[in-house]
Structure 1
Amino acid sequence: MADDNLKEWVLPASIPFSELKGKDLEECLYWLMDAMGAKDLEWRTGGSGGGAADGGRDLEAHFYTPSAADDNIEPQIWWIECKGRTGTVDANEVKNAVVNAQAKDKLDCIVVTTNTQFSNPTIDWVKEWHRSSGCGTALIWNGC
């Protein structure tokens, strides 16, 4: 008799990262954020063309963490922007995501993720922006 409670594991090596683009990459990140404990998780569907119909992010998530001072629970708002590509992600795409995020009051974290890799100028720009802006942890994420 088979155990109905047996869960199947998805091994990261078996995920076809190079094929994850558009909705598939967004869905991968949606479920990852959910597994990380995100609340009020919103998947924003964009439109076609060059505009940002999704408001500059593909996902918006809230994480609730205790504050360092008094252990009160405080929300953190994260924007997650997905860049599914066949080549490297250009620095201008990350810059645009950061500019959109800077327009949002009380945004705690922006995550730009890709299924491929970021160009060296992109990585350099993020490090410099992080150093000069005084914001939290710079996050460069290659692969889902």
Structure 2
Amino acid sequence: MDSGRSGGRNKMEEQQPGLTRDTIDPHREIDFKTIDHLQFEELCYELVEAAGFRSLEWRRGGADSGRDIQGTLTVSTGLFSEFEELWFFECKHHAKGVGPELLASKFIHALAENPRHLVFFISSFPTTGAKRWIKEISARSAFKIHIVDGEHLRAVLRNHPGIVEKFFSSKLQTVAAAARRSWQLQGLVPATSSLIRFAQDVELSSAAAIDKALLFIWTRRLYNDFEAEDDVWRPMISMMAELENSSEKLWPSCRRVRFWETKDNNYGHSFVAAEVELTIRGVTMLGTYCFERHDGVGIEVFVAQKTLQLFVRYVETGADQEVDQVLQKFFSDNSSSPEPALSSTVSRANER
């Protein structure tokens, strides 16, 4: 793990020295293999509807006469009266390339209806032969043929997070997204029971980077609410080290606003969690910070509440001394407001 982590860090440093922002892509897991052909048709239907098409018909199953979906689009040029165009949409849900034989039959069926446009949604990609066929047939077709392949479709879906969440989010991802929004907008932290379930979920390894980071800092923030045997108290340094995107120390650029929790024991495991203002290149961000060390190595994490910007630094050596330095600095920082008790700063709204 160390060699892979170091390689990733060096590559990132070559691109942009110093601190770099982790690119959070909540839709990175758009995998068409996880849905069946009917779900793929439904996804395409919702995209067509969102694009402004009307009089939609979804021909589910059976003979579709050259289209799975048909609809009309109103065209307005500003020069004369509006008019409507008839569009046919054919959905091809395949793991491998789609050849011309799978497209030609749909084209022949469409000829009888003579739409203005025929669109092929393809979850994979058209083969070289299919591309050649499309080019040749388009030159003499009375209607225009469009191809939306898997790569293009993923790009379009990034503008429709609701559709992505409906078809591709697991239960864990859905719950995590809701918790993330509650914290981002209102500062609400999930109940301890919810965090325990999240930490024990078998799908945690595939969760988004931002959700792993939030789980890490929330469990440290609510340390006193957990039992010693809870799984969340197994050090998460290994999991967080895989998210490393910064090579520079964060804590010298932080101003502590309030402490959430600190922990130190005789088993080589300690941490400090606090609300801080982090200033990077003249930009100040309010968020939650945590430094955790275990057996001489450490992890430093900051998440900006407003933007969800994430910084993660792995500390391979000197973590024991560094956590003491963080505490000394944070204790010397002057808070802009009186330090509230932990019980008054953590919402229990999610315990309902």
Q: TM-score, normalised by structure 2?
A: 0.34
Aligned AA for 1:109?
Answer: H
Is 2:86 the counterpart of 1:83?
no
**Alpha-carbon contact 2:57-2:71 (below 8 Å) kept:** yes
Q: Which amino acid aligns with 2:147?
A: I
More helix by share: 2
How far residue 134 of structure 1 moved from its aligned partner, in angstroms, is 5.8
2:125 maps to amino acid? Q
| 1:115 is the counterpart of 2:123 | yes
The answer as to 2:155 corresponding to 1:140 is: no
Change (3 A) 1:19 1:33: same
Which residue among 105, 124, 129 is the counterpart of 2:132? 124
Following superposition of structure 1 onto structure 2, how do residues 41-120 of structure 1 map, counting pairs within 5 Å?
41-47=56-62, 53-67=63-77, 69-70=79-80, 72-105=81-114, 107-120=115-128
Distance 1:12 1:103, change over 3 A: farther
Cα deviation for residue 57 of structure 1 reads 1.0
What CA distance in whole angstroms lies between the structure 2 residues aligned with 1:29 and 1:16?
14
Unpaired segments of 5 or more residues in structure 2? 1-24, 154-352
Report which stretch shifted further, 31-40 or 60-69: 60-69
Q: Distance in 2 between matches of 1:94 and 1:109?
A: 14
Alignment of 1:14 with 2:21, yes or no, is no
From the CA coordinates, give the structure whose radius of gyration is larger. Answer: 2
| Sequence identity percentage | 26
Which amino acid in the other structure matches residue 56 of structure 2?
Answer: L
Aligned 8 A contact 1:20 1:84 in 2: no
Q: Which residue of 2 aligns with 1:34?
A: 49
Amino acid at match of 2:119: V
Shift of 1:21: 3.5
Query: What is the aligned length?
Result: 127
Q: Distance in 2 between matches of 1:79 and 1:135?
A: 10
CA distance in structure 2 between the aligned counterparts of 1:141 and 1:56, rounded to whole angstroms:
17
Structure 1 residues 38 and 122: alpha-carbon distance in aligned structure 2, compared to 1, 3 A threshold: same
Contact 2:65 2:106 in 1 (8 A): no
For structure 1, the 5+ residue unaligned runs are 1-9, 48-52
- What RMSD in Å do the two structures reach over aligned CA positions? 1.9
- The answer for the alignment partner of 2:40 in structure 1 is 25
Supply the AA of the counterpart residue of 2:70. E
Q: Is the 8 A contact 1:18 1:116 kept in 2?
A: no
The 8 Å contact of residues 123 and 140 in structure 1, kept in 2 or not, is answered as: no
Q: SS where residue 138 of structure 2 aligns? A: helix
Q: Deviations over 1:28-69 (max 9, x none)?
A: 11110011001011111122xxxxx12221101111112575
Give the deviation of 1:113 after TM superposition. Answer: 1.3
Q: Rate the CA distance shift 1:39–1:135 in 2: closer, same or farther, 3 A.
A: closer
Alpha-carbon offset, residue 99 of structure 1: 0.5
Return the offset for 1:20: 3.6
**Separation in structure 2 between the aligned mates of residue 97 and residue 26 of structure 1, nearest angstrom:** 15
